[in-house]
Amino acid sequence: MVDIIILLLVLALIFFAVKGSLKHFKGEGSCCGGGSGSIDKNRKKLDGPVLGKKNVRIEGMHCEHCAVTVENAVNEIAGAACEVDLKKNLATVSYDRDLDDFAIRKAIEDAGYTVMGIS
């Protein structure tokens, strides 16, 4: 009888672990210190008209918390506004003045992610 109870407990733990892992890899669960609460996005509007956009391929984002971290890091750059597509691992950076690729790369890498390319 004790063996059956232990087996049921182990099966329940495995079920919840697999369920949580699936949510994590779909980008729906919490990870990276994100917790399960809401995430504050630092939405930024540019002061001037948009002069252009750059697409940044990023590696290492796994959840919405990661995406918001990248957006907030890039939004700290003067003249840049960022939106991240987590499923595509792509950040779109709009800018209203000359924007050096190095500044974008540094902001993202300082946030803990890897820039694979900027176009």
Check if the beta carbon of residue 99 is closer than 8 Å to that of residue 93.
Answer: yes
Q: Where are the domains of the chain?
A: 1-30, 52-118
- What CATH architecture does domain 52-118 belong to? 2-Layer Sandwich (3.30)
| Predicted pLDDT at 42 | 67
| Predicted pLDDT at 40 | 66
| Predicted pLDDT at 55 | 98
| Rounded average pLDDT per 10-residue block, the chain, 119 residues | 90 87 64 57 85 96 90 95 95 95 96 95
Interatomic CA distance for residues 46 and 57, integer angstroms: 22
Helices (H), 26-94: 64-75
| Predicted pLDDT at 62 | 86
